[in-house]
Every structure is written in structure tokens, then in C-alpha cells.
Amino acid sequence: MNNLKKIKIQLNGKKHRIKMGYNLKDLLKILKKDNNKVAIELNGEIADKKKYNKIFLKKNDKIEIVQFIGGG
């Protein structure tokens, strides 16, 4: 496992290292986030929920994962 190459991404404003070959579905899985409770923005574009398993992460990708929180 450790032999697998890691890539740098920016996740919610912070630098993050992730294994190469991961897609957005994998990312949510390792973060333990429910697909139905979040939305993802990839490099400024909203990612289509239905395509999370087809969108693979690349070096320097900027990802924002958001959810609903309490607000007025």
C-alpha cells in the first residue's frame, strides 16, 4: 500500500495528500461523508453527483466539499 504514489490536492482550503487513482466517490468514502448530504466543487465547477465514481483526482485539484449547517 505504501508503495502507491500520492498526489497533492487542495481540500477545503487545505493541502491534502491522497493516493493516485482515487475518484470523488473514493474521497467521500475515506472522509466518511454521505454522498447524499454533500455537494462537491472541483476546480470551481460543480461536480455532477451521478458521476462521482467517474471523476478521478489529479495533482493540484482544488476541491470543496460542502454540507448544510444551521443558519438563518
Alpha carbon of 67 to those of 1, 38, 39, 40, 61: distances in Å?
A: 31, 5, 7, 9, 20
Binding positions for other proteins, 30-59, rule CB under 8 A: 31-33, 36-41, 46-49
Q: Pattern 7-26, binding to other proteins, x per CB under 8 A? A: ----xxxx-x----------
Residue 20 or 30 with smaller CB distance to other proteins: 30
With CA atoms as reference, report the closest residue to 65 among 36, 41, 35. Answer: 41
Is 66 among the residues that bind other proteins (CB under 8 A)?
yes
* Smallest distance from other proteins to CB 3, Å: 25
Q: Does 68 bind other proteins (CB under 8 A)?
A: yes
